[in-house]
Amino acid sequence: MNRKYQMAWLAKATLTAFFALVSCAFATSFFGGPPEIQPADNDGEAGPAWIAYRREPTPQSVLLGTSLTYHLKEPFFLPVSVRNLAIPGRSVLTALEIIASYPKLPDNIFVELNVMTWRADNDFIRKFSYNSGAHFQVIAPIRAIVAYLGRPADKVGVRQPVDETILNQPPAEYDNRIYIQRGRVAWSGHNHDAVISETMDAIVHIVQKIEVRGSRVYFFELPLAPGMADTDVAKTTRAVAHQHFSDASRWLQFSYPADQLRFRDHAHLDERSALIVAHAMRDAMTAKH
């Protein structure tokens, strides 16, 4: 293969790659940013919500938490407007760090304190923080097309009416015994105590930084499946949380008919139960405004 052919080949490939990337960058600026990427499954990823958070005006109220909070869909809180930024599978500290990186903060930040056994996810923080390189993300054409074609009806920012008639239906019955059994095993003992304490210390620190800037941070605890609330980890988490944030006015006090709640596993509410809890939370949140 002669040298001239090789150089021509490499030049063509390089220029093609360059122009393709420039086209994606132009498309990004034309559409106003990368699309809200549809996750590979419907169990939910927090990415789209955080992309929307970066792109849209800062909301007045946000919910931060884990997958427990993730299932409380934003329309459940209507007419109260709240942006759910819960991140399944990651510490709430992750979300707090990202929020704190923005120059403008929401007025009210509601923070779930059920699960403290994870440390902050620095990769996620880097990806979605205000000063992250994600600002320069370019459109991924394949994902953009799939995201457009498969956009979910209740995508971020679109307020679909909620079918509240499900509240008139009887609660569903699930066989979630195996999940509760595993959950109890996972949450027994005191292996997580150190992480819980460290995480809570870090939350105290970051809440102070946030509140200095004028926002108000409130906390809440979501119900767990029967048998989980009395596990070692749940009890330790609750005790440490109330020890660090002992002011009762910081906590959302809300009640719900516990016998009406159903869990798909050891911790996650089904849709009807999530609606019941969201309504109860909505009233408590309104009282805090």
Interacting residue ranges for another protein, rule: CB under 8 A: 1, 3, 5-6, 8-10, 12-18, 20-21, 24, 38-43, 138-143, 146, 149-150, 174-176, 179, 182, 264-265, 268, 270
Nearer to another protein, 186 or 206 (CB): 186
- List C-alpha distances in Å: 172 to 75, 143, 272, 273, 281: 21, 36, 9, 9, 22
Strand order in the sheet with 216-220: 83-84, 61-64, 108-112, 216-220
**Residue 170 C-beta: closest distance to another protein, Å:** 16
Rounded Cα distance, 60 and 19, in Å: 41
67/215 with CB nearer another protein: 67
Alpha carbons 66 and 78: distance in angstroms, whole number? 21
Query: How is residue 245 annotated by DSSP?
Result: S
Q: Compare residues 38 and 215 and give the one whose CB is closer to another protein.
A: 38
Nearer to another protein, 37 or 202 (CB): 37
Report CA-CA distances (Å) from 220 to 75, 186, 195: 19, 23, 20
User: Measured from the CB of residue 244, what is the shortest distance to another protein in angstroms?
Assistant: 31
Least distance in angstroms from the C-beta of 273 to another protein = 12
Can the peptide bond before residue 152 be classed as cis, meaning omega within 30 degrees of 0? Answer: no
Nearest residue (CB) to another protein, 108 versus 273: 273
Element (H, E) at 75: none
31 vs 174, which CB is nearer to another protein? 174
CB of 265 closer than 8 Å to CB of 219: no
Cβ 5 to another protein shortest distance, Å: 8
Map residue 220 onto helix, strand or coil: strand
Nearer to another protein, 58 or 117 (CB): 117
The distance of closest approach from Cβ of residue 251 to another protein in the complex, given in angstroms and rounded to an integer, is 29
Token reading at 180: 């509760």
CB of 127 within 8 A of CB of 237? no
Closest approach, Cβ 138 to another protein, in A, equals 5
Q: At 110, is the secondary structure helix, strand, or coil? A: strand
Going from the C-alpha of 25 to that of each of 19, 29, 138, the distances in angstroms are 10, 6, 5
Task: Tell the smallest beta-carbon distance from residue 43 to another protein (Å).
Answer: 5
